[in-house]
Structure 1
Amino acid sequence: MTQQPMSGSRRPASGGPKAAARNRAALVAAAREVYAEQGLDAPLSAIARRAGVGQGVLYRHFPDRAAVATAVLEENVRQIERAAREYADLAAVLGVLTWHLTESAAFISVLHADGAGSGSAAPAYAVALSRRVERALLSHLPEGHPLAAGPDDLMIAVGMVSGAVTGPGRDRRERRARAAWRLLGVEVGPVRPFTG
């Protein structure tokens, strides 16, 4: 059974086998929003509702909560990589990274999880995602930049900014992220998603 999207939602209801890619994209976008609002413990039913699909559709794409979280993280990294290919300067790419940090603040715990006792592959996957982000950013890091002083400085700075991105409200998280970059002496472009 297909559920209708919540009022104000932009996502369409499921429409059969040809809608699989659209439904998956709607679920990832909905998960990002719901997790940012409610945290990682938000009910999967809220994600399905926000996406405008039934829970059966959600489970066809994602067998469990970890799979949903991983899909959102993967999409975040893909957008950062695309921004690095399209934008000429580091500040613009950092703006996209900062948008993802503020939108996906609930995922910071996943990125820094040690996975003890969970049996999950998330920590190894998180390390691989982190390396992809680092490669994308390094491609724009000019010699002599404050983040190029030591071999790990770039990702230490990203970790510091992600640690500053706390609290309720997207605007507050963005202000804290911008303040953290400023304190690190790093210029950040407009904080927005990559849309290219």
Structure 2
Amino acid sequence: MPADRSKARPTTRSNPGPAAAARNRAALLAAAHGIFAESGTAAPLSAIARRAGVGQGSLYRHFPDRLALVAAVVEENVDELETASGRDAASLPDLLGLVTRHAVESVGVVDLLVEDRPGRMLALRDRVEAALAAHLDAALASGRVPAGTTTADVMLGVEMVSGALTRRPSSERPALAARAWSLLGIAVTLPR
């Protein structure tokens, strides 16, 4: 005799809709930050999806390729920089510390940011440059950067410092970055 299905519990799952999409995107970005910090931007995308607790299909719906995911991570970092730049107490060395913290966490992200790429990455680089440039005159007036430093010099410093961090164990990066900035004549402290 067949089982009476009228008393069985429904087996369909409810679709959480757009709320799930936003949660999945946030989880993917958080996972990407962590994975990129540990393994660089060449890490398997499947590891990011797994850490986020979503399927690879969800990852590709939000980020069609690796560069789109890396750009989204960089964009979050740039948003954080611009927010810090807008604070009254912000100084160029403080902002360089934040950029450097992002480099320490994942040197590959900064490598992509400073490359001369068309489109989104170049626009993000321009936003970083603008946030730093807004504080250059005050840094020059206070002597916190060497006299004659230009915005192009500051961006070159970012490239040089992030380049020095490549192929270094993550535990060595903060001290190395501080030393590199010191050699460039700027005292930078990494925020926690």
Please indicate the TM-score interval, normalised by the length of the shorter structure: 0.7 to 0.9
Q: Which amino acid aligns with 1:73?
A: V
Distance 1:175 1:135 in 2: 27
Q: Which amino acid aligns with 2:120?
A: Y
Which deviates further from its counterpart, 130-139 or 84-93? 84-93
Q: Does 1:138 align with 2:133?
A: yes
Q: Superposition RMSD on alpha carbons, in Å?
A: 2.3
How does 1:41-120 map onto structure 2 within 5 Å?
41-86=42-87, 87-113=89-115
For residues 1-40 of structure 1, the C-alpha deviation after alignment (integer angstroms, 9 at most, x for no partner) is: xxxxxxxxxxxxx965313222212211211221222233
Contact 2:102-2:110 at 8 Å conserved across structures: no
Alignment identity in percent? 51
Distance 2:43 2:128 in 1: 26
Task: Give 2:38's aligned residue.
Answer: 37
Moved over 4 A (4+): none
Q: Is the partner of 1:146 in helix, strand or coil?
A: coil
* TM-score between the two structures when normalised by the length of structure 2: 0.78
Task: Give 1:154's aligned residue.
Answer: 154
The alpha carbon displacement at 1:104 in A equals 1.9
The alpha carbon displacement at 1:68 in A equals 0.9
The alpha carbon displacement at 1:155 in A equals 0.9
Task: Give 1:163's aligned residue.
Answer: 163
Q: Is the partner of 2:61 in helix, strand or coil?
A: helix
Rg bigger for which structure? 2
The alpha carbon displacement at 1:124 in A equals 3.8
Q: Which amino acid aligns with 1:103?
A: E
Shift of the 189–62 alpha-carbon distance from structure 1 to 2, 3 Å rule, reads same
For residues 68-109 of structure 1, the C-alpha deviation after alignment (integer angstroms, 9 at most, x for no partner) is: 111111111111111111243223222211111111212244
Distance 1:71 1:180 in 2: 28
Q: Where do 5+ consecutive residues of structure 2 fail to align? A: 1-14
**Number of aligned pairs?**
172
